[in-house]
Amino acid sequence: MTLSFLFVFFAGLLALAYLRAPAWAAAGLAAAGLVVSALAAVAWPVTALLALATVGFGLMALHPLRRALVSKPLFAWFQTVLPAMSATEKEALDAGTVWWDAELFSGKPEWKRLFDLPPPRLSKEEQDFVDGPVEELCAMLDDWQINRELKDLPPEVWQFIREQRFLSMIIPKEYGGLEFTAQGNAAVVTKISTRSLTAAVSVMVPNSLGPGELLMHFGTEEQKNHYLPRLARGEDIPCFALTSPQAGSDAASMPDEGVVCKKTIDGKEVLGLSVSWDKRYITLAPVATVLGLAFKTRDPDGLLGGKEHLGISCALIPTSTPGVEIGNRHLPGGSLFMNGPTRGKNVFIPMDWLIGGQDRIGQGWRMLMHCLAAGRAISLPAQGVAGGKVASMLTGAYARIRYQFKQPIGHFEGIEEPLARIAAEAYRMEAAHKMTLSALDRGDKPVVLSAILKAYHTEANRRVVNDAMDVHGGKAVVEGPGNYLSMGYQALPVSITVEGANILTRSMIVFGQGAIRCHPYLLKEMTAAADNDLAGFDKALWAHVGFLLSNAVRSPVLALTGARLSASPVSGPTARYYRQINRLSAAFTFTADLSLLILGGKFKFAEKLSGRFADALAYLYLASAALRRFEDDGRPEEDLPVLRFAVQDSLDKVEDALYGVYRNFPIPALGPILRLLNFPLGRRNTPVDDRTGKTIARQLLEKSPTRERLIHGAFISREEDGAGIVLKAFDAVLKAEPAEHALRNALKLVPSPSNVHEVTARAVEAGVITEEQAADLIVAQELSARVIAVDEFTPEQLGTARPEEPKLAAAS
C-alpha cells in the first residue's frame, strides 16, 4: 500500500510538471496526500515526506516568503556572477523581436502561432514588376561578358536599373520609391540571382543594410527629403562602409574614428567631426556617390558637454567631399560586382551629416542592429533560394539529356542521390525564406531567424551547387559562355562571408543571442539583476525553475510515447512530424537550459557547444517551415516525397546536434545520463529511404508539378546561351521520348548525336516511327550535342599565342 501510495503521489507530481501547473497545485497535491496518509495510517516516513513536500511547495507558492528566504540570497549571488556585457552586445540583444524561434525554445510549441501568419504572396504591382522589368533585365544579362570581359555590368544595364528604379524597392512611394514588401524585394533578388549574381548584388545592396534603410528609420526629415528621392531615381548610388582591416566581425575594435571639433567655413564656425577611416570589402564603393560610414566617436574637448567616448556613429558623406578616397576595386571571386576600399584622413563633416543629426551621435550600432535584424533575412537567403532553383532546374534537365551506358544519367542511383538532395534543399530553403518574409511583412524583426536564414541558406546553397557540379562533371569545370554553373560556384564564399561570416553566426550569434532572446525567462532574470529588481528576479527565477522541471518531464515522456501525447495541428501523413518537433523541442530546451545553468557566463566562450545548439534550433525551424509550406501549397500529394526528405533530414540533424552536445557536455558524466533521459529509446528520426529519393529524382527529370513548383520564380532563359540551350534540349528530349521508346522496343537501338540520322531513317522505313517523330528525335539529339559540348578558345583569344619560332638556316 505504501509503495502504491508513493507511486500515485509521484505520478501526480510528474503530471503537474508535464502540464506546467503552478506551485500551489503541487502544494495542494502534497497536502491532500498528507491528509490521506494520516487517515490511512501509512508508514511514518511517507507522512514525513509529504509534510516536507507540503511545506516546500507551499513556500514556493507564497511569493513574499519565498522572495525573502530563497530569492534574496540567490539574487545577490546572481548579480556577482552575471557576465559583463559590452555596449555592442547589449544593443544587439535589444534589437529585433522573437516569434517561432521562441516557441521552439519553449519545449511546447504553440502551433497556432505558426498558422496565424499570413501565407506568402506578392501584390499585383510586385508580380507585374517581376514579370516585366525583372524579366527584361535578366534577358539583358550575360554573365560571361559581365565577369570575364567587362568586369562590370554593361552601361545599358546600369541605365536600365536606374530608370526602372531597381535601387528603390525599400524606399516609400512618397519619395519616389517602389515601396515593395519583403516578399516583393526578395522575389526580385531571387529571380535576378538565377541569372547573374553580379547583377543581383548590385541591386540588392542598396535595398538592404545601407543608407536608404538607415535614413528611413533614423534620418532627419531634411535628410530624407534630400537623399531618398535621389536614391530612388538612381541619381545617387549608395554604399555603406563598416568593415575595417583590423575589425571585421569585432566592430567594437574598429580604429576608424570621428573627433568632435569646430572648423571655420565661409567665415562661420561650424561644429562637426574630423573623421579618419580605412575600410575594405565595401560593395558599390567604386561607383558610389554617397558614402555611408560607421566610425567610433570621441569628444576629447567636451564640446558637446558630456563624456569623451560616445560610441559608434553613422554618417552620410558625399564621395566628392575633399579627402574621401574611393574608386579602387577588389575583385570578388566569380562575381565581379563593384566592391572596393575607401579611406579618408581628417575629413571634416558637419554634424548634420550624421544620420539622424547630432541627436543620433553614438547610436550607430543600435541603428545597424535594428536594420540587420530584418535585412539579413532577405537578400542573402534569396541567393540561396536562387541557387536551389537553378540547381533543380538545370541539373534535373542535364541529368535527363546526358546519356551514358545507353540511358539518362539521372536514372543511375549514384545520380539520384544528389538530385534528391538538391530538390529537398531547394524546397526547404524557399519554405523558410517565404515564411520568414511573411513575418517581416507583418512587422516582426526576427533577429535570430534572420541569422539562421543567412547562415543556413548560404551553406545549403553551397551544398546544392556542389551537388550540381558533381552531376555535370566536366561540363561544369570548363569555363566559357556555355558554362552556367562555374560563376556561381566560384562566388559561393561571398555570401558565406558577408553580413556575419557563417562560422561566427553559427558558433556565436544564432544560439548565443537566441538563448537570451528566445528563452522565456533568461533575459528577464538578467534585466532584473541589472536593474536591482528583486521582485522581478523572483518572479522570473521561479517561473524558470518550473519551466526547467516541466521540460525535464516532458522530454522523456514524449520520447517514450513516440510523442503521441502531444497535439498536432493537422491530420494525415504529416501529423507525426509535428509531434516529433514537439518532442525534440522539449529535449532541445531542457538540454540547453541545463547547459546554460551549469556554464553560466562561461557559455559565451563555449562556441562548439553553442554551434551544436544553433544547428538544433535552426533545423527545428527549417522543418517547421517545410511543413507550413506544404499546407500553404494546398497539401499536394506529389510533394510528399520532397517534404518527407526535407523534414526527416532536418529532424535527423537536430538529433545529431543534440547527440554531439551529450558527447561534449560540460560535465562529462552527465552527458550519457541526459542522452538516456531525452532519448531512452535511441534516435528515432532517420533520413528517407532510397525509394523516396528515386521518386524525387525522377520528378526533376520530367516536367512534374513538383519540379515546376521548385523552380517557380526563376528566370527561364530563351536565349542561345548555356542555360537556354539546356532548357530547349530538355523540352526536345521529353517531346521525343515516345519515339525513343519505340526505337528501343522495336529495333533495340538508342539514338545518339552521332547516329541519329541513320537510326531514324531505318525506323521510319520500318514503320516504327513517323517522319514527324524522326524530326523530333533529330532536333533532340542535335540540341543534346550542344549541351554536352564545352567551350574552347584559340591561343589568340586567350592572348597566349606564341611568336613564330625562327627557322634554322639550311646546312651548306
- Which are the catalytic amino acids? 499
* Cβ proximity of 508 and 612 under 8 Å: no
**Residue burial 366-392, b: 16+ Cβ < 10 Å; e: rest:** bbbbbbbbbbbbbbbbbbbbbbbbbbb
Among the residues of 234-378, which ranges form H helices?
Answer: 364-375
* Cβ proximity of 696 and 641 under 8 Å: yes
Among the residues of 62-118, which ranges form H helices?
Answer: 63-66, 72-81, 87-94, 100-104, 111-115
Rounded to the nearest angstrom, the gap between the alpha carbon of residue 511 and the centroid of all alpha carbons in its chain is 14
Nearest C-alpha neighbor of 645 from the set 634, 653, 657, 633: 653
What cell does 592 get?
540547453
- If one counts every other C-beta atom within 10 angstroms of the C-beta of residue 809, the result is 6
What cell does 392 get?
533543380
- If one counts every other C-beta atom within 10 angstroms of the C-beta of residue 687, the result is 17
Strands 290-298 and 238-241: parallel
Phi, psi of 281 (to 5 degrees): 65, 35
What sign does the dihedral 763-766-772-773 (CA atoms) show?
negative
Say how far apart CA 215 and CA 290 lie, in whole Å. 13
What cell does 621 get?
525551424
Identify the DSSP state of 253.
G
Say how far apart CA 387 and CA 423 lie, in whole Å. 11
Say how far apart CA 131 and CA 370 lie, in whole Å. 32
Strands 238-241 and 403-404: unpaired
Burial (CB count <10 Å: 0-12, 13-18, 19+), residue 216:
middle
- H or E segment and range at residue 127: helix 124-129
Nearest C-alpha neighbor of 373 from the set 436, 430, 434: 436
Q: Could you give the 3-state DSSP secondary structure of residue 643?
A: helix
- If one counts every other C-beta atom within 10 angstroms of the C-beta of residue 329, the result is 16
Say how far apart CA 737 and CA 726 lie, in whole Å. 16
* Cβ proximity of 400 and 733 under 8 Å: yes
Nearest C-alpha neighbor of 283 from the set 314, 329, 248: 329
Identify the DSSP state of 234.
T
Nearest C-alpha neighbor of 660 from the set 619, 689, 600, 602: 619
End-to-end CA distance of the chain: 125
